[in-house]
């Protein structure tokens, strides 16, 4: 087989990837998708809380003193799923902005590493795949820095700075010793931590213990990850709704 043919055989089929992903979106509204995911995650957390409340009885019944440790491993699912919600949501936001029109559509030109062939262009049209879905599928959202850079490029403004300003008006219970800026910074640190933890859980065979006293990377509670992820996504949604409000349907 020639080198060109080998290259073609390994070429990704972006159209099929996009169609496959869209087929798994069980709601057309991006925020409804996030809301339902978080309802399910909260219910899962309740199940773990119920287990924890009965841990002494269960350990005595099953003669196993390690059940609490086994249950801790189930907590690893929450940062994994929260990161999936962030990345999926951001892709939907990018597609929405691109389809919204200018200036966002024009700003896509700044992603100079994205290119596609005539064959791909024809396939997109044939399969009725919007440009926004295609471009957002290729944009990097693998960490918080990627997310900020990607959306900031499309909106021509720093996303995290806009989120910080929005955070100040977000209805919430403020900490006793912090202020808006420090509380926002703590939330961002938790999101960054969650990405690191998720990477370890998904790609490494080593073990990361939940230790609140460690000075190294730690695993937060499912409740912390859920609350901070929900707040973070809520801030992005508020920013986008302000700069690109839904258009009236004719």
At a CB cut-off of 8 Å and minimum separation 6, what does 240 contact?
93, 96, 97
**192-208: pLDDT as tens digits:** 999 999 999 999 988 77
Distances (CA, A) of 185 to 1, 138, 182, 200, 220: 54, 29, 5, 23, 16
Closest CA to 191 of 131, 127, 147: 147
Query: What's the pLDDT at 138?
Result: 93
How many percent of the chain have pLDDT more than 70?
89
Torsion of CA 18, 20, 21, 27, to 10 degrees: 120
CB burial readout 179-212, b (16+ within 10 A) else e: ebeebbeebbebbebbbebbebbeeeeeebeeee
Mean pLDDT calculated for residue range 11-25? 89
Query: What's the pLDDT at 86?
Result: 98
pLDDT exceeds cutoff 70 at 178: no
Q: Is 211 inside a domain boundary?
A: yes
At a CB cut-off of 8 Å and minimum separation 6, what does 11 contact?
none
Q: Is 5 inside a domain boundary?
A: no
Q: Is 218 inside a domain boundary?
A: yes
Q: Is 2 inside a domain boundary?
A: no
pLDDT exceeds cutoff 90 at 231: yes
Query: What's the pLDDT at 9?
Result: 39
pLDDT exceeds cutoff 70 at 173: no
Q: Is 237 inside a domain boundary?
A: yes
pLDDT class for 74, splitting at 50, 70, 90?
confident
Q: Is 168 inside a domain boundary?
A: yes
Query: What's the pLDDT at 40?
Result: 96
Dihedral (CA of 171, 176, 182, 185) sign:
negative
Q: How many domains does the chain have?
A: 1
Q: Is 126 inside a domain boundary?
A: yes
Query: What's the pLDDT at 212?
Result: 53
pLDDT higher at 241 or 1: 241
pLDDT higher at 58 or 40: 40
How many percent of the chain have pLDDT more than 90?
60
Highest mean pLDDT among 2-11, 50-59, 113-122, 143-152: 143-152
pLDDT higher at 209 or 133: 133
CB atoms within 10 A of CB 148: 18
**Residue 196 belongs to domain spanning:** 13-243
Mean pLDDT calculated for residue range 227-235? 97
pLDDT exceeds cutoff 50 at 182: yes
């Amino acid at each position: 087989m020639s080198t060109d043919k080998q290259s073609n055989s390994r070429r990704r089929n972006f159209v099929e990837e996009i169609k496959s992903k869209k087929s798994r979106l069980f709601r057309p509204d991006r925020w409804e998708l996030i809301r339902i995911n978080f309802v399910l995650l909260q219910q899962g957390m309740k199940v773990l809380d119920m287990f924890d409340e009965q841990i002494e009885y269960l350990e005595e019944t099953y003669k196993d003193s390690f059940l609490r440790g086994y249950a801790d491993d189930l907590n690893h699912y929450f940062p994994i799923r929260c990161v999936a919600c962030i990345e999926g949501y951001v892709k939907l936001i990018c597609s929405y902005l691109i389809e919204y029109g200018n200036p966002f559509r024009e700003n896509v030109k700044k992603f100079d590493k994205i290119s596609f062939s005539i064959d791909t262009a024809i396939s997109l049209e044939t399969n009725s795949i919007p440009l926004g879905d295609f471009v957002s599928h290729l944009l990097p959202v693998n960490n918080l820095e990627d997310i900020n850079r990607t959306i900031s490029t499309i909106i021509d403004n720093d996303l995290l700075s806009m989120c910080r300003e929005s955070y100040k008006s977000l209805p919430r219970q403020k900490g006793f010793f912090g202020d808006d800026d420090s509380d926002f910074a703590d939330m961002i640190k938790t999101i960054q931590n969650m990405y690191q933890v998720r990477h370890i859980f998904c790609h490494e065979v080593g073990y990361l213990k939940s230790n609140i006293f460690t000075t190294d990377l730690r695993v937060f509670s499912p409740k912390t990850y859920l609350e901070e992820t929900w707040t973070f996504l809520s801030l992005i949604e508020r920013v986008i709704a302000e700069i690109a409000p839904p258009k009236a349907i004719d």
